[in-house]
Amino acid sequence: MQDIQQLKETIKALFDSQRLAVLATQGDVRPYGSLVAFAATEDMKNLLFATTRATRKYANLLKNRGVALVMDTRTNQTADFADAAAVTALGDVEEIADHEEQELANIYLDKHPYLREFIASPTTALLRVNVKTYIMVSRFQNVQELHVGE
């Protein structure tokens, strides 16, 4: 197990190395999974992603703000079972308020500059996950939690 400093660094390194995450939202009947481009704030308290408002995930979020985001270092090789790490973030989503929009949009666009037009569209929502817990899995079966705001 890693101490808290190492754990935070490992998770941050994973944020830096990955562009996409799997977002899980809760639909009326069953969960729904989708791939989103994500970015993290420096303090690790928030994860950011964007979606157009016509999507199924957005509709789900209007009903239930609870989400899970999965980010991982897999390379689609069998070696992943031993070598890959995955982080699941659990938290609640909220749409970003006007006064913070520019600052958070900059963080998001620093990582994904090619999404500038997408973000600028009035039909797109930039969303923030207020992370409660990170769960990191490494070496196939070792699991460590990082609770935020405690």
Residue 142 binds another protein, judged by CB under 8 A: yes
Nearer to another protein among residue 11 and residue 125 (C-beta): 11
Q: How far is residue 85's CA from residue 87's CA, in Å, rounded to a whole number?
A: 7
Of 77, 88, 99, the residue nearest 137 (C-alpha): 88
Window 26-45: residues binding another protein (CB under 8 A): 43-45
Query: DSSP character for 115?
Result: G
Contact of 131 with 146, CB cutoff 8 Å: no
Contact of 23 with 31, CB cutoff 8 Å: no
Residue 9 binds another protein, judged by CB under 8 A: no
Residue 144 binds another protein, judged by CB under 8 A: yes
Residue 76 binds another protein, judged by CB under 8 A: no
Q: Contact positions toward another protein, by CB under 8 A?
A: 1-5, 7-8, 43-45, 78-79, 81-83, 135, 139-150
